Amino acid sequence: MPELPEVETTRRGIAPALIGHRIQRAVVRQPSLRWPVPADLDRHVAGQRVRDVGRRAKYLLIRLDQGSVLMHLGMSGRLRVLPPDSAVERHDHLDLVMETGQLLRLHDPRRFGAVLWAPQHEHPLLTGLGPEPLSDAFDGAHLHARCRGRRAAIKVLLMDARIVVGVGNIYASEALFRAGIDPRRAGGRISAARFDALAQAVRAVLSEAVERGGTTLRDYTAPDGAPGWFRLQLAVYERQGKPCTHCGTAIRRVLSAQRSTYFCPHCQR
DNA sequence: ATGGTCCCCTGACCGC
DNA sequence: TGCGGTCAGGGGACCA
């Protein structure tokens, strides 16, 4: 489900129910996620107050007085805030029960998501990550520097979290379409000016998607159950065979690093 | 270091 | 209705 806009929408949705409130306990029904949920999670979080709900890359960081809970939604993860004693359904793997009675519930059919404990608010998974795409540290010059000499396709490099975080399969294709760059082009064979356009396109696509609450393709919904409306703005993603919104040429689908990639063969070079 | 490929898991959908 | 194949928003672990 989630790229940066969906994770950010989730963060904003869950924050009010958490910040300033104490966690009563953690209920783990299915510890077998991407990595095992720590067996002693409840002991770490019970009785602690939530100071803040942050995000780094696609990780949600629930910051407590002592340590943080890290959550990742993987492909199919969904977080909702529910009333006390809400009925448990299939794939409801974990609850954080707040002292208010409300539940923060993780639902994740494919179990590619993760729930981890970071004692010092930091975690090895967060080291070595590239800049946030909506921060000042991300621009064309950064991309240019990081892609210099690389033969890998620019779309694959855009999705490499060591170069820039948060850009997943949907928004990588969309940003490259807006920048007019062929997703198969080698990263090292793109001019500085075109990297400027690409960085701007990444920012624009992601911030527009955040404004619209993300993209609902199949099962994604925000914590309040609302879908994301950015799907209506998608120019190429899952539009193979349909006319390009700019020139009418049929959109193509190819594979890059085993992931579907969509582009207009006329507008993108 | 870099660039491929494979895999974790469940569910939806499509053609036979 | 059932069955097998394909695909899916992530990303770490391997391999050469």
Question: Three-state secondary structure along A194-245?
Answer: HHHHHHHHHHHHHHHHHHCCCECCCCCCCCCCCCCEHHHHCCCCCCCCCECC
For C9, nearest residue by CA–C1' is A1
Instruction: Tell me what the mean pLDDT of segment A162-190 comes to.
Output: 97
The nucleotide minimizing the C1' distance to residue A153's CA is: B3
For B11, nearest residue by CA–C1' is A109
Instruction: Tell me what the mean pLDDT of segment A44-61 comes to.
Output: 97
Backbone phi, then psi, for A58, in 5-degree steps? -100, 15
Alpha carbon A135 to its chain centroid, in Å, reads: 16
Of residues A11, A58, A80, A252, which has the active-site annotation?
A: A58
How do residues A133-160 score in pLDDT, each as one tens digit?
A: 999 999 999 999 999 999 999 999 999 9
Query: Using an 8 Å Cβ cutoff, are A264 and A177 in contact?
Result: yes
Q: Tell me if residue A259 is catalytic.
A: yes
How do residues A226-257 score in pLDDT, each as one tens digit?
A: 999 998 899 999 999 999 999 999 999 999 99
Question: In one letter, which amino acid is A230?
Answer: F
The nucleotide minimizing the C1' distance to residue A59's CA is: C10
pLDDT tier at A205, thresholds 50, 70, 90: very high
In window 215-244 of A, residues with CB < 7 A from nucleic chain C are 215-220, 228
Q: Specify the pLDDT at position A220.
A: 86
Query: Which of the nucleotides in strand C have any atom less than 7 Å away from a protein CB atom?
Result: 7-12
CA gyration radius, chain A: 20
Token pair, residue A111, equals 């179990």
Report the distance from CA of residue A256 to the C1' of nucleotide C5 in Å, as an integer: 21
Distance CA A97, CA A25 (A): 5
Q: Tell me if residue A2 is catalytic.
A: yes
- Please list, in sequence order, all residues whose beta carbon lies within 8 angstroms of the beta carbon of residue A69, skipping any fewer than 6 positions away: A41, A45, A61, A62, A96, A115, A116, A117, A118
Q: Specify the pLDDT at position A218.
A: 84
For the entire predicted model, the pTM comes to 0.96
Q: Tell me if residue A223 is catalytic.
A: no
Q: List, in sequence order, the alpha helices (H) in A37-129.
A: 41-45
> How many residues belong to chain A?
269
Nucleic acid strand C within 7 Å of A261 CB = no
Asked whether the predicted pLDDT for residue A44 surpasses 90, the reply is yes
Report the distance from CA of residue A162 to the C1' of nucleotide C16 in Å, as an integer: 22
Q: Could you give the 3-state DSSP secondary structure of residue A155?
A: helix
